[in-house]
Structure 1
Amino acid sequence: MSGDSLLLNLNMSKIQFHIGLITISLVSACKTSAPPQQTVTEAQPLVEIGKEQFSIDDYQDSYNKNKFASDSTKALSPEEYLPLYTDLKIKVLQARSEGKDTTLDYREEIASYRDQLAKNHLVDKDLVEKLTTEAYDRLKQEVRASHILVGVSEDASPADTLEAHRAAIALRGRLEEGSDFADMASRFSKDPAAKTTRGDLGYFTAFQTLYPIETAAYTLPVGKISQPVRTKAGYHLIKVNDRRTNRGMVRVAHIMVTVDTAGTPAQKESAKTRIDEAYAQLQAGDEWNLVVEKFSDDRESRKNGGLLPLFGTGQMVPEIEEAAFALTRPQSYSKPVLTMYGWHIIRLIEKRPIETFANMAPALRKKVVTDSRGKVIEQANATRLRKKYALQEAPEQWKLVAALADSTLRTGKWDYQRAVSADWSTVTLFRIEQRPYDALSFLNYVKRKQTPRPKDASPEVVFRRHYTDYLTESLMEYERDHLEETNPEFRSLMNEIREGVLLSQIMEEQVWQRSLSDSTGQRSFYERNKERYNYPERALATIVTAKDTQTLNSVRKSLATSPYKLERKSKELLFPVNSVEIGNEQLDALTDLYIIMQKNADYVVEIAGYRSADEPEITSSTRVRNVVKYLNARNIPILRIIEKDYGSFRQSAEPERNRRVAFQFFSQSKSDVEKVYNADAPGAVTIREGYFPKSDPLLAGFKWQTGEQTANASGTFTWLNVAKIDPPRAKTFSEARGTVINDYQKELEKQWLARLQEKYPVKVNAQELEKVKR
């Protein structure tokens, strides 16, 4: 093991130690368990450490969270957990005695943890869960709906808002009397797309439109028209046209020939001819990837055989979406399809049904608090806070402040200093639990938060909205600042976090860093305990697993000689007759080649040059040299390049390919071989190499001998190649150093703890300990 690897492993162990303490706390934060029971009788300390006393409640809380600390399958008894508890408290007491809880770093770290954890306690988890379940139920269906928008700003005056609402009611009346919805949408809707779409929103599911519109669409029967639905844009009338089961997700690959919508008829016809030619080659049996490379203009997907990301309804242009879902058999492909981007041939890769709720729930919970549902959560939270805390508003003072609203609020350039008529710092707008909030703070809030508003926005309504937002944010800030006082669970959590940070800091100083830097102590510990550090009998071997024998044999063939030939190539360069220069036509392919070489440090590329029989002999080698110069100029060294000049040998049936430069990749790394085989089917191949003890599960079923062996178990084919078998032997200090340092850490900690136990004697109240519940 290298020194860098060793240091990384030790640092990781420290991080995991620290995070482990925090994780216990984070997990507990997500639980809804009741706070620790309060003792009714006069509290007796359970443990006295030095001059500090610790209650049975503190011990019970710690025990409940950590009783599986030693063995995840077996709980410690209260008596068995006691030494762990007292040792931790002793270390924390020592850290405090050294003033580690007063440093700026410590305070900043605790503040950071507090901010993160407080967020979990400021959200209505029941409401989030309700919205998450509702969203998943809606995702099972897709709805097709139309809408008509009567436009009015959310900040419009009450009179303008009422007028818009009446107009929406009147429109609904005409629709109920039989007027055509699409015609009315085209004539009256303020949606800019309505002239084209005639109000049709197409099929959609949860999260794909505003929550109020989604809710109306999912609650209305097919064919019915909603009452006016309010959003920021105005009032909507929603008509549900159809419902269907969610079609799930689909992954496709495509060949795309771009079409310039402003191009000439000849250019458009040329694009159509190209896509038809690609389709004809597929029909003739040509390989999909080769046709993609030859015809597709989509540079990104062309690198991966035209593969596109998974998508569902409403996430792709409609023509591609419909063509994709119409395909039923994997690897089948569509006829050419025209979209706004050009012509496409769609090939089905896979279809997936909607995932289970258990799998989707974490992502859905994040979505419900960030999409337009977040407004529902915010409003519910505001209502809860107004009920929870004693709030006193001052209507008369508000009237004085409200008089400052003017038309500059629409442009986002409002400034209260233009009309100073009072010392606003002395005017109290409201109180939360007797804490006053002055008008000056609110006015500065408005200056900071203001943004340009629509022309029909009312300054008075905008100003009042700012006041409501400021009041809600003040209530949230008050709750955040007083969480320890109002929430016993959060208070317990923060106490545990503080102890965890102190523990990590003092362990770093007294144990972890000392064990790393004390090389003399490491060596001495190794010499005293040599018998601990031994290698068993081991085999130096390569183990390959695959899903079928054909793949397994292909991998074995790849690994036969080093560097290993990879089943991966880059697009060829084709040159005009007698041309050797790198032009724009060759740059795309060379850029792809450079990116591959840059991303894969162990790759070596063979660059093979060809020429047609009637070209000068030097032509093919010059083409190779120009490619090499291109790569060298971009810091790909000559050591990673193999040059081959095949001249006019190996003539191709396609004349233009006789004037080519082709590329074949090799690698010194077996992991690169594994990656190539897993590129299209993750997990299809695994390659492991190194020393393996006889007890290793990977060697189960194989004979303990050198040479090659194969096996087939449960549909997995395995090839084992044992180069040699080493007898048991003692590890050198260098080989054992990682384990030595871990063991040395334990000894240092034991010695340090023994000194602390003398400084902080422990007294246990045996009668109280019997009361601790398992």
Structure 2
Amino acid sequence: MGCHLKLNNMLRATSFIITTALFTTLSCKTSAPPKQAVTEEQPLLEIGNEKFSIDEYQDSYNKNKFASDSTKELTPKEYLDLYTDVKIKVMQAKQDGRDTTLDYREEIASYREQLAKNHLVDKDLVEKFTNEAYNRLKQEVRASHILVAVSEDAAPADTLEAHRAAIALRGRLEEGSDFGDIASRFSKDATAKKNKGDLGYFTAFQTLYPIENAAYNLSVGRVSQPVRTKTGYHLIKVTDRRANRGMIQIAHIMVQDTNAAAGQKEAAKAKIDEAYKLLQDGESWADVVANYSDDKQSKKNNGLLPLFGIGEMVPEIEEAAYALSKPESYSKPVLTIYGWHIIKLIQKKPIESFAVMAPALRKKVVTDSRGKIIEAARARQLRNKYAVQEFADQYQEMAGLQDSSLITGKWDYQRAVSKDWSASTLFKIEEQSYDALSFLDFVKRRQQRRPKDSSPAVIFNRYYNEYLSECLFQYEREHLEETNPEFRSLLKEIKEGVLLSQVMEENVWQKSLSDSTGQVRFYEQNKGRYNYPERALATVISAKDTQTVNSIRKILAVAPYRLERKSKEILFEAGSTIISPAETSSLEDLALIMQKNPDYVVEIAGYRSTEEPEMASAARIRNVVKYLNTQNIPILRIIEKDYGSFRQAAEAERNRRVAFQFYSQSIKDVEKVYNSDAGASVLIEDGYFNRDNRYLAKAKWDIGEQTSEENGAATWVNIRKIEPARPKTFMEARGSVINDYQKELEKQWVNRLQQQYPVKVNAQELEKIKR
């Protein structure tokens, strides 16, 4: 059992290593310490010909001392058996040559690549940006900007000229010139003439990091020094700050009027006003959405839109939505570039805690514009960590190949080959050389069109620095085992975990599952382990009140069980039995519900008006059934009801409908439907129960029905039969038998391995292990 639990623990640890972002802080390179006399350490453990140190055992013990029981810590002596069993199994896997197979090497290479990614990040800087971003998310900033355009790859003289121009504009602003006026006249942002440089409200991650950084570090009314981005220099002015209003979810009714003539615009306004009046008169939101909204996507879900925050929706909808204070309240008609909208508030969610948001924020800070800053910082660290020797003369000679085609992204060094660049060393990292040809190929692959004011020399130098950084990252990745003890330890665990899984599969798991004769023999030898206690065959219903319990009992009286759930009915044109494209979306929703709920049965009810042919309703049903069959919904899950011209509806068009009612073969579907209501807490269970079941423990152990109320809940128990205690048959016990048989096979296998790999323990060293 201990070995089995240890295995599970190691596999969980391996999964955690592979899927969790692990970071490590690496120290800068230092000179080697003077050599000292080293006293040979006594091994803690010898298994066969292998020796294991006290440090190795201590590390494993610290990670796995709760392997057998998450609530009970093993002592160093108790953990010893688990540790030696794993090591013996891994040694046997290596003896079998499993660590040399192509499949194993490819699997480990994949794991190593994933693990390495997490060790190539500056953990401290990521955490700094994560905390900074979270604190900024608590506040929304409104700012304006003026852009003095200049390419990031412009010649130094052009860059200096743009910077001076930005300084000059800032001087005019400091002297009292109006920011909006200066922006509309001089800013190279295409929208500035219309919005006078106003960026609106934003928060973390919603603009380039340099602009965000300047805005969050400015007081309201102040203008920043020039801020550099790829497009040029920006002057930022903060005009307002406010607390983050959180995330919000709304539903809407939309009437389109975009690109419409004047008469159509008037019709759109009249239509939205009519919808608004219907809502005020008490018409249901769902019905108004169904009859008036032009948004086909949200219409399928009563107009519901995804959660959004500041800056993620058009301003008119955003302001109307945040102005609503009570869920289910709705706005007056609002005009946007898409048309007219009525907004209904569903929910508002405040910003979540740091603990909840941190994992997502860590991913964001390494993928948005902060990511370049993190990469650059890491590259600087690696330049300090490793000995980097650059050869300026070789670079200058190679730089002669650059020309204006670098700006168009069509540069090719092969047009001007003057020497063998593979023999020219561009730089070294430690003792590893990097030739110029590899860099030239890198430029050819990476090049892309640049702005017209870019300088080929600046572009070429940028590519050089990017290439050097990539080579440093690759060198670090390839030497992680040598430089990073944590990475080395984690990768070793992964390697052992994969080998352990392979040998366990062959020697224990697969054997226990495929050896049916061995299972039966083990069952016969250990029958006393597998028994049923006295049990009651019963149905239990628990709900908030007796009325709900009785309602559920009524539903469960007849199978399949009628659910309080329907799908939207579809309507047909007079005399038609063909499903229109407009109604197809309703059938798509119906098919999706049936696919997601395999125990559902749907009743399809067809109707016709008195003026239509008698076969119209049957034909409508038949066409719906055909559609469902094309969606892999079999006829066995469909109930057909042809009501013809009976049950005439007040609305004439509804007399030409097909309606849908869901049933289910599963009591759990009944439970799920009841629990879909807010505040509901319904439990329905059917089967065998032991005396210690929390519902049966309070009931009389007698056949019959019982109802009780306690702690604000009602419970109904119907005991249909009481079975005395008895032994389980083999088929009833098979799951437990296989599990126990696995443990027995593992025990026998480990005993054989211990004969092959004798274990010697240094008791004195074991006493040194810290708990």
Shared fold (TM-score, shorter chain, > 0.5) = yes
Report the equivalent of 1:20: 12
Q: Which moved more, 1:549-558 or 1:394-403?
A: 549-558
**Kept after mapping to 2: 8 A contact 1:539/1:722:** yes
Match for 1:82 among 80, 83, 97? 80
Cα offset, 1:344, TM superposition? 1.6
Cα offset, 1:25, TM superposition? 5.6
Distance 1:702 1:369, change over 3 A: farther
Q: Structure 2, unaligned stretches of length 5 or more?
A: 28-35
Cα offset, 1:412, TM superposition? 1.8
Match for 1:115 among 98, 113, 116? 113
Matched, 1:351 2:348: yes
Distance 1:309 1:25, change over 3 A: closer
Match for 1:44 among 42, 45, 48? 42
**Kept after mapping to 1: 8 A contact 2:9/2:64:** no
Distance 1:633 1:84, change over 3 A: closer
Identity of aligned residues (%): 70
**Kept after mapping to 1: 8 A contact 2:214/2:236:** yes
Cα offset, 1:469, TM superposition? 0.6
Report the equivalent of 1:231: 229
Specify the SS of the correspondent of 2:44.
strand
Report the equivalent of 1:670: 667
Tell me the distance in 1 between the aligned counterparts of 2:604 and 2:577: 14
Tell me the distance in 1 between the aligned counterparts of 2:185 and 2:313: 28
Match for 1:330 among 320, 327, 331? 327
Report the equivalent of 1:305: 302
**Kept after mapping to 2: 8 A contact 1:49/1:762:** yes
Cα offset, 1:87, TM superposition? 1.6
**Kept after mapping to 2: 8 A contact 1:95/1:101:** yes
Report the equivalent of 1:589: 586
Distance 1:414 1:723, change over 3 A: farther
**Kept after mapping to 1: 8 A contact 2:7/2:500:** no
Cα offset, 1:634, TM superposition? 4.5
Report the equivalent of 1:502: 499
Specify the SS of the correspondent of 1:773.
coil
Equivalent residues, number: 760
Match for 1:163 among 161, 174, 177? 161
The letter for the 1-side match of 2:14 is I
Tell me the distance in 1 between the aligned counterparts of 2:231 and 2:681: 51
Specify the SS of the correspondent of 2:282.
coil
The letter for the 1-side match of 2:75 is S
Specify the SS of the correspondent of 2:366.
helix
Alignment of 1:447-462 (within 5 A): 447-462=444-459
Tell me the distance in 2 between the aligned counterparts of 1:343 and 1:45: 79
Report the equivalent of 1:105: 103
Distance 1:353 1:691, change over 3 A: same
Alignment of 1:27-426 (within 5 A): 30=22, 41-259=39-257, 261-426=258-423
Specify the SS of the correspondent of 1:657.
helix
Tell me the distance in 2 between the aligned counterparts of 1:537 and 1:178: 90
Distance 1:631 1:103, change over 3 A: closer
The letter for the 2-side match of 1:395 is A
Cα offset, 1:656, TM superposition? 2.4
Cα offset, 1:487, TM superposition? 1.5
Tell me the distance in 2 between the aligned counterparts of 1:464 and 1:152: 18
Tell me the distance in 1 between the aligned counterparts of 2:78 and 2:573: 82
Cα offset, 1:218, TM superposition? 0.6
**Kept after mapping to 2: 8 A contact 1:29/1:489:** no
Cα offset, 1:574, TM superposition? 2.4
Distance 1:388 1:258, change over 3 A: same
The letter for the 2-side match of 1:238 is I
Cα offset, 1:543, TM superposition? 3.9
**Kept after mapping to 1: 8 A contact 2:6/2:67:** no
Tell me the distance in 1 between the aligned counterparts of 2:499 and 2:631: 50
Specify the SS of the correspondent of 2:559.
coil
The letter for the 2-side match of 1:474 is C
**Kept after mapping to 2: 8 A contact 1:249/1:310:** yes
Tell me the distance in 2 between the aligned counterparts of 1:673 and 1:196: 58
Report the equivalent of 1:641: 638
Specify the SS of the correspondent of 2:348.
strand
Tell me the distance in 2 between the aligned counterparts of 1:63 and 1:509: 27
Cα offset, 1:217, TM superposition? 0.8
Deviations 1:213-248, CA, capped at 9 Å, x for gaps: 111111100011111111111111111110001111
Q: Structure 1, unaligned stretches of length 5 or more?
A: 1-11
Specify the SS of the correspondent of 1:370.
coil
Cα offset, 1:303, TM superposition? 2.6
Report the equivalent of 2:33: none
Distance 1:551 1:432, change over 3 A: farther
Specify the SS of the correspondent of 1:328.
coil
Matched, 1:572 2:564: no
Matched, 1:468 2:460: no
Matched, 1:769 2:766: yes
Distance 1:307 1:538, change over 3 A: farther
Deviations 1:42-81, CA, capped at 9 Å, x for gaps: 3111111112221112112211211221222222222221
Tell me the distance in 1 between the aligned counterparts of 2:459 and 2:536: 76
Distance 1:581 1:509, change over 3 A: closer
Deviations 1:558-600, CA, capped at 9 Å, x for gaps: 4332222222222222233333333334334333333333443
Cα offset, 1:553, TM superposition? 4.9
**Kept after mapping to 2: 8 A contact 1:90/1:760:** yes
Specify the SS of the correspondent of 1:652.
coil
Q: Which moved more, 1:165-174 or 1:321-330?
A: 165-174
**Kept after mapping to 2: 8 A contact 1:17/1:504:** no
**Kept after mapping to 1: 8 A contact 2:248/2:322:** yes
Alignment of 1:610-759 (within 5 A): 610-679=607-676, 681=678, 684-697=681-694, 699-711=696-708, 714-715=711-712, 718-759=715-756
Distance 1:486 1:629, change over 3 A: closer
Q: Which moved more, 1:462-471 or 1:88-97?
A: 88-97
Tell me the distance in 1 between the aligned counterparts of 2:571 and 2:19: 60
Tell me the distance in 2 between the aligned counterparts of 1:547 and 1:191: 61
Distance 1:538 1:270, change over 3 A: farther
Matched, 1:436 2:424: no
Cα offset, 1:720, TM superposition? 4.1
Tell me the distance in 2 between the aligned counterparts of 1:200 and 1:188: 14
Tell me the distance in 2 between the aligned counterparts of 1:680 and 1:39: 75
Distance 1:39 1:362, change over 3 A: farther
Distance 1:655 1:215, change over 3 A: same
Alignment of 1:536-615 (within 5 A): 536-546=533-543, 552-615=549-612
Deviations 1:228-270, CA, capped at 9 Å, x for gaps: 11111111111111000111111112222222x2122222222
Cα offset, 1:526, TM superposition? 0.6
Specify the SS of the correspondent of 1:763.
strand
Distance 1:588 1:97, change over 3 A: closer
Distance 1:184 1:688, change over 3 A: farther
Q: Which moved more, 1:220-229 or 1:73-82?
A: 73-82
Match for 1:528 among 525, 529, 539? 525
**Kept after mapping to 2: 8 A contact 1:678/1:684:** yes
The letter for the 1-side match of 2:385 is K
Cα offset, 1:27, TM superposition? 10
Distance 1:220 1:556, change over 3 A: farther
Report the equivalent of 2:31: none
Cα offset, 1:712, TM superposition? 5.1
What is the TM-score with the length of structure 1 in the denominator? 0.93
The letter for the 2-side match of 1:566 is L
Tell me the distance in 1 between the aligned counterparts of 2:611 and 2:357: 63
Cα offset, 1:325, TM superposition? 0.9
